[in-house]
Every structure is written in C-alpha cells, then in structure tokens.
Structure 1
C-alpha cells in the first residue's frame, strides 16, 4: 500500500477515534458539570497546567525527531527509551514537590492532593510513549485509534463513577490516570513488534535527536507560557471559580482544534516528512491542509457562536451563564489557532523547529502586557480578548514564516477561504432569523437551529465547492 493510501486509511481511523472520544468527553463534561461546582474544574485545570508544563521538558522533542529522521536503529531507540524513563521519574519528583508553591500562588488547599496524585502521570506514560511515536512513523493509525477509544471510555467511566461517589476533583484525576494506564498498556502491546528495548544506553548515539529537540523544548516552553498565560492570570488574580468558567468556555470553543485538527496534522506530518525536498509539493499540501481545516472547523465554530445561549444550558445545566460571552470570544480565537496549527508540519519537515521557538517568543512578548492591560479593564472577559488579539498577531506572523519556507501561497489560500467564510455568514444569519421569529430555548429549538445551520452549510458546499457525485467519485477512488 502506498504512503498516500496509508495516510488516507489512517485519517479514517483517526476520524473514528476522534468522534468517539469527543462523544465520551462531551458526555463526561455534561454529567460532571451537573455534579461538581465550577471551582472543581478550576482546581483540576491548575493541575493540568502543571502537568503540561513539565511534560515539555520530559518529552525533549523525541516524537518529532523520530519521525523526521525515520529512526529505526534499535540501539538509538533503546537509549531514547531509557532516557525518557529517567526523565519521567525526575519530573514526577519535581511535580510532587511543587505542590506547596502552587498552593501558595492560587491560595487553594485542595490542590495538594490533586497535584500529588496527578504527578503519577509521569510514572505511567513513558513506558509506552516511544511505541506511539513508532506507530505514527509507520502510519499505523488504526492501532492508535483503538488506544484512544479504549482509554477515553475507561477514563470517562472512572471519572463519572467516582464523581457520583463524592470524590469531587479527585474523580477527574483518577479518570485521567486510568485513561493513560490503558493507553500505555495498548501502546506496548501494539508497538512491541517494532521495538523491543535492549539493555543499552549511549548518550552519544542520540546527540542529533537531542539537538533537534533543543529548539522543540524551547518552543514548547514558550508555547506553553503564551498559550496558558491567560489561565495562569485568571486563576491567580480572580480565583479558581473564575478559572472554572474560563476553562469550560475555552474547552467548548477549542474542541474543533483539539479533536478535528489532529486528524489531519497527525496523518500529514509523517507523510510530508517523506517529501521534504520538494517545496512545490509541500506548498500544495499546505494549501490543501488549510482548505480542509477551514471547511471542517469554521461551520462548527460559527454554529457554536450563534447557538451558545441555548447549547450551554442544554450541555451543562443551569449556573454556567457566565461562560456565554467567553465562548463567543473563544470562537474567533479558535479560528485563528486552527489556521496557525499546520505551520509545525512545514517547520519540522524543513528541519526548522527554531522558527516556532522565535514565533512563540514574539507572541509571548506581545501577549503578557495585553493580558494585564485588558484584564485590568474587563477582568475575565478582557483576558479572553487579549488572548484573541495575540492569537491573531501570531497567525499573521505564522503565515509570513510559511511563505518564507515554501513560497507564496496567499492567493490560493484566500481564494479557498472566502467560500467557507461566506457560507458560515449565511448559516449564522439563517439561525439568527429562526431565533428571532420562532424560538431559542429548549431542546427542540436547539436541535432545529443546529439542523438549519448544518443544512445551509452543506447545501452551499455541495453547490459551490464540491458536488455529491464528485464526493462519491473521490470516495470510490480512495
């Protein structure tokens, strides 16, 4: 089977796993939002921030370097494997001991048990992580999909079950740990044929991997700070309850990015890495990725924008009204982010991860003052607006870097982008008219709005983008 066909098949499997995992996550959040106080989500959000921060340093960029170098040397892989395990143990100790400092900043005693329990994450994932990287390199996305679905299902069941038993914030942590245990076991089971670690460790063999990862770690650090500085500011200045509202709003609005985009990018990067010498092909692929991301993400974001006032009570129950203006701001921030995400595939394919480091550095320098300036005037809403502004600036710089790497693509991109943008405007207008003249509250009106918006976008897409016979012909050829 050709690499292209493998990528297409992989995209199908990742799509399935993403849809199923998304359903599980929606069910979990919808149920827990009715059982738990918003402050609980804020507390767990803090532990997630801490875990994500330390993960930057323990990863060392090995996933990208293994795929970029198409690494197969068993001695190199063994060295990377044992180095990851050692780093995981060190990070576990650091996270565990950091609890008092985090509690002092957020002034929240409940963080003690949460952080210490969450630190076990680093003792779990590194036993199987290198197998995940190798499965990605070999485009074995069916196996990856099975891992994701199984982990998400177990994690959801554990979290909901413990929440009903009164475990509060710990129910979410136990759910996350259960999910990672299942994934790690399956990663080893599926990947053991590709690599069986030997008792070998030679740091000299992995110098190129470490050099490749240096900028990756720096980029990850800056990316974390500039991507999460808003959460840090909200929790520290306004408290964990405000952070809970902010977290739920951002999670709902960034679902297209965290769920749909990886389907495309996870498949695209290993494929692009095999054509890294051909700028013309890379440019064509980059434009196709942007076009596909636009058509997948924009109708979902536009639909969320116009239906938020009816969708939020339906999903989360009463008491979450403060999230509504935040969600509508995050919709535009998410649009900018999803268009910026594909740059990493080009930067790593061209062996230029340092450009991502500098991009995040500039964005961070811009974002931090905006957070405090906007936040001082409009509190949590101002922080969301600051995040949107800095993300838009990041997107502009992002496109400039992409042009420098693969040549001009602006004309083709904007020609593609105009159609879904206009389709979304008409979709929003149709739903708005329904809300004004028919109704907006309740399950029936909510589902009718979703149906109207979806029908308008699909009809316009079939008429002006790709007809049904063309879609069926393409599906048959695949």
Structure 2
C-alpha cells in the first residue's frame, strides 16, 4: 500500500474512531448528568485541569519529535521510554503530595481523594505511550483507532457502572484511569512489533528531542493558561457547583466541534504543505477550508442555539436549566474558535509557528482582565461572555496574521459565509416558529425540531451550494 493510500485509509479509521469515541463520551456525560450533582462535575473538572497542566511538563513533546524525526534508533527510543517513565513517576509524586494545597485553594475537601487518585494517570499513561507514538509514526492508524475505541468504551462503561453504585466523583476518575490503562496495554501489545525497549539510557543521544520538547513545553504552558483561565477562575472565584454547570455547558457546545475540526485539518495539512511556495493556491485552499468548516459547524451550532431548551432536559434530565444561557453564549464562542483553527496549519506550512506563540500571548493578555472584570460583576455568565469576547478579538488577530501570510482573503471569505449564515437564519426562524406555535417540550417535539432544521439546511445546501452528482464524484475520488 502506498503512502497516499495509507493516509486515506488512516483518515477513514481516525474519522471512525473519533465519531465512535465522541458518541461514547457524550452518552457518558448524558447519563452521569442524571445521576450526579453538578458539583461532582466541578470537582472532576478541577482534577482534569491538574492532569492537563502537569502533562505539559511530563510529555515534553516526544510524540511530535518521534513522528517528525521518524525516529527508529532503538537506543534513542529506549532512552526516551525510560525518561518518560522517570518524568511520569516524578509528576505522580508532585501531584499526589500537592493535593492538600489544591484542596485549600478551592476550599473543597472532596478534591483530596480525587487528586490523589488522578495522579496515577502519570504512571499508567507512560507505560504504553511511546508505543502509541510509534504506531502513529508507522501509519498504523487502524491499530490506533482500535485502541481508542476499546479504551473509550471500557472507560465509559466502568464510569457509568460505578456512578450507578454511588461512587460519585471517583466514578469519573476511575473510568478515566481504566480507559488509559486499556489504551496503554493495547499500545504495548500492538506496538512492540516495531519497538522493544532495552535496558539502555543515554541522555546525550536525545539532545535534539529535548530541544524540540522544551519549545513544546513553553508553547503548551502558554496555551494551557490561555485555554483554561476561565475554568480556573470559575472554580476559585465561584466554587465547584457553578464550575460543574460551566463545564457541562461548554462540553455540549464545543466538544463535538473540537472532535470534527481536527479531522478536517489533519487531511488539509499535507495538502497545504505542498503549496507553501504558491501563495495564490495556498490562499484559495485556506478559503476553501474556512468554507468547509463553516458549512459543517454552523448548522450544528445554530441548531443547538435554538433547541437548547429542548435538548438540555432531554439529554441531561432535570436540574440543568442553568446551563442553557451558558450554552447559547458558547455556541458563538465555538463558531469563532473553529474559524481560528486553520491558522495553525497555515503557520506551520509557512514555517512560522512563532506567530502562534505571539497570538496566544496576546489572547492571554486580553482574556485575564476580562475574566476578572466580567466574573466579578456577572458571575459565571459574565465569565462565559468574557470568553466569547476574547475569542472574537483573537479571531480578528488570527485573520490579520493569515492576511500577512497569504495576502487579502477576507472579501472572499465573507462572500462564501453568507450562504451558510442565511441557511441557518432560515432554519432558526422555522424552528422558532414551531416552538412558539406547537411547543418544544418532550422527545417528539425535540426530534421534530432537529429533523426540521436538518432538512431545511440540507435542502438549501443541495440547491444553492453542492449538488448530489458532485457529492457522488467526490466519494468516488476517495
């Protein structure tokens, strides 16, 4: 099989695994929201913040460096493997013994047990992580997809089972740990065909990997603070219960989009890379990516905006009405954010990843003051609105950087986005009329709203954007 065929096959497998994993995780949240108090999700959200923060330092970007350098030297890989285990063990101890400090910061005693349990992630994950990197390097996307699907299914099943048996916040953490234990075990079993660690360790052999990793740590740390400042402030300023509502609202509005867009960009990046010497082709491709993202994301977000009052009680049960105004804010934040995503591939194609660092720095400088100002006066809704404002301003900076890299494109972008925006406005108007005239409560009304919106958007798209013969031609080309 050629590299191109492997890439196409890999894209299909990654898409399948992403869709299945997204469904599992969405079902988990939907079921657990009916079983657990909002404060439980707030407590777990704090533990995930801690894990994600320390993961920046323990990972050191070895995944990217192994794939980028196509590393195959068994001595280098063995050194990286044992260094990863050392880093994982060190971070485990730091997180475990920092639990009392985190409890004091959030004034939440339940965090002690949760943080200590979550710290095991750093031991479990690093036992098999390098094997997963090597499978990706070898383009074994089918194996990667199988690992993801089995791990997610197992972790989700255990989390739900434990929640039914009264384990509360620990059910989510144990499910998360089991998911990664399964992934690590399968990665080892499937990846040892390509690498078997030997008792060898020489730090001088991995200088290039370390330099690469230190840059990743700096960029990752800044990106983490920029992306999670709102969660940190909600938890510390307002407590874990508002953080639970905030987390659930954010997941519903942003989670599916964050799963969809990486698939598009993963396919687009190698195409853009081949055009880096031709600004006109690069610009046309960038506009096309924005167009595709707009057409795929806008109906999902517009549909969620107009059906939130129906969807939230149906999926999460009673007691989650506080998430509805937050969801309607996050819908707009999510759309602005998804339009910003393609810049990452554009900057790397042009060999200017430093621009992303400066963008993160500028966004952070805008975001922190807004979070404190809006959060102080308007609580959790104000923090959500500050996140929306920051994302919009960041998108303006994002488009300015894109303009500097490929030239003027904004007029073409506006000309393209008018259609999906118009389709969505008509879709929203029809669903709004249905809600007012007939109602929106219950499974039947919710289903009719979703089907009605989908039919309207699809019909308008087939009529004014892309025809069925064009779709068939595209499928045959795959």
TM-score, structure 2 as length reference: 0.94
Aligned to 1:98: 98
| Aligned residues of 2:272 and 2:282 also touching (Cα < 8 A) | no
| Aligned residues of 1:256 and 1:297 also touching (Cα < 8 A) | no
| Aligned residues of 2:99 and 2:111 also touching (Cα < 8 A) | yes
User: How has the CA–CA distance of structure 1 residues 87 and 407 changed in structure 2, closer, same or farther, with 3 Å as cutoff?
Assistant: farther
What is the deviation of 1:277? 5.2
- Helix, strand or coil: the match of 1:71? coil
What is the deviation of 1:276? 7.7
- Helix, strand or coil: the match of 1:197? coil
- Helix, strand or coil: the match of 1:23? helix
Residues 3-82 of structure 1: pairs in structure 2 closer than 5 A: 3-82=3-82
| Aligned residues of 2:427 and 2:453 also touching (Cα < 8 A) | yes
Distance in structure 1 (CA, Å) of the matches to 2:77 and 2:44: 34
Aligned to 2:195: 195
Aligned to 1:357: 357
Distance in structure 2 (CA, Å) of the matches to 1:67 and 1:274: 16
Aligned to 1:422: 422
Aligned to 1:394: 394
Aligned to 1:436: 436
| Aligned residues of 1:215 and 1:357 also touching (Cα < 8 A) | no
- Helix, strand or coil: the match of 1:27? helix
User: How has the CA–CA distance of structure 1 residues 213 and 353 changed in structure 2, closer, same or farther, with 3 Å as cutoff?
Assistant: farther
Distance in structure 2 (CA, Å) of the matches to 1:178 and 1:117: 12
Aligned to 1:275: 274
Over aligned residues, Cα RMSD in angstroms? 2.1
Distance in structure 2 (CA, Å) of the matches to 1:75 and 1:436: 68
What is the deviation of 1:21? 1.5
What is the deviation of 1:361? 1.3
What is the deviation of 1:285? 4.4
Aligned to 1:314: 314
Distance in structure 2 (CA, Å) of the matches to 1:365 and 1:31: 38
Q: Mean Cα displacement is larger for which, 411-420 or 36-45?
A: 411-420
- Helix, strand or coil: the match of 2:439? coil
Distance in structure 1 (CA, Å) of the matches to 2:273 and 2:369: 41
- Helix, strand or coil: the match of 1:319? coil
Residues 178-193 of structure 1: pairs in structure 2 closer than 5 A: 178-193=178-193
Aligned to 2:328: 328
User: How has the CA–CA distance of structure 1 residues 4 and 376 changed in structure 2, closer, same or farther, with 3 Å as cutoff?
Assistant: same
User: How has the CA–CA distance of structure 1 residues 71 and 460 changed in structure 2, closer, same or farther, with 3 Å as cutoff?
Assistant: farther
Residues 239-318 of structure 1: pairs in structure 2 closer than 5 A: 239-269=239-269, 271=270, 275=274, 278-280=277-279, 282-318=282-318
User: How has the CA–CA distance of structure 1 residues 106 and 351 changed in structure 2, closer, same or farther, with 3 Å as cutoff?
Assistant: same
Distance in structure 1 (CA, Å) of the matches to 2:353 and 2:82: 24
Distance in structure 1 (CA, Å) of the matches to 2:253 and 2:53: 22
Distance in structure 2 (CA, Å) of the matches to 1:405 and 1:212: 24
User: How has the CA–CA distance of structure 1 residues 272 and 474 changed in structure 2, closer, same or farther, with 3 Å as cutoff?
Assistant: closer
Distance in structure 1 (CA, Å) of the matches to 2:78 and 2:346: 28
The number of residue pairs the alignment matches comes to 477
- Helix, strand or coil: the match of 1:128? helix
Aligned to 2:237: 237
Unaligned runs of 5+ in 2: none
Q: Mean Cα displacement is larger for which, 245-254 or 200-209?
A: 200-209
What is the deviation of 1:307? 0.3
Residues 452-467 of structure 1: pairs in structure 2 closer than 5 A: 452-467=452-467
Q: Mean Cα displacement is larger for which, 454-463 or 443-452?
A: 454-463
Distance in structure 2 (CA, Å) of the matches to 1:216 and 1:343: 18
What is the deviation of 1:100? 0.8
| Aligned residues of 1:226 and 1:367 also touching (Cα < 8 A) | yes
Aligned to 1:162: 162
TM-score, structure 1 as length reference: 0.94
Q: Mean Cα displacement is larger for which, 68-77 or 125-134?
A: 68-77
| Aligned residues of 2:272 and 2:285 also touching (Cα < 8 A) | no
Q: Mean Cα displacement is larger for which, 66-75 or 255-264?
A: 66-75
| Aligned residues of 2:22 and 2:256 also touching (Cα < 8 A) | no
| Aligned residues of 1:68 and 1:273 also touching (Cα < 8 A) | no
Unaligned runs of 5+ in 1: none
| Aligned residues of 2:114 and 2:169 also touching (Cα < 8 A) | yes
What is the deviation of 1:284? 4.7
Aligned to 1:141: 141
Aligned to 1:380: 380
- Helix, strand or coil: the match of 1:109? coil
